[in-house]
Amino acid sequence: MYSLDDTNPLFWIIIFLILIIQGSWIFNDASKRGENKWIWGLFGCLNVPTSLLIYILVTRYIMKTENCGHCGNKVRTNANYCSNCGQRIKNEY
């Protein structure tokens, strides 16, 4: 019978390092994209590679962004105002 106690400690160290690297990359990328970096970074430390795939799908395809015409900051396409400068993005009806 095989148990977790029989697993090589090097295996767990490698998994831990991969999770930390993945979480750090997601944290930095979310920060550059104007997403909630802490939530995404912690989410990235949960598992490999599912968290990374979900992050990329959500931020690149589901929540599309455009640049603010005033300051150039990335804002979601459905936003009415820029979160950085407050400039109106779309007309409100």
Q: Are residues 13 and 54 in the same domain?
A: yes
Which among 60, 6, 36, 65 has a CA at the least distance from the CA of 73?
A: 65
pLDDT value at position 80?
82
Full domain range(s) for residue 37: 9-62
Of the two residues 38 and 77, the one the predictor is more confident about is: 38
Q: Are residues 56 and 79 in the same domain?
A: no
| Number of domains the chain contains | 2
Of the two residues 10 and 92, the one the predictor is more confident about is: 10
Q: Are residues 19 and 52 in the same domain?
A: yes
Of the two residues 66 and 22, the one the predictor is more confident about is: 22
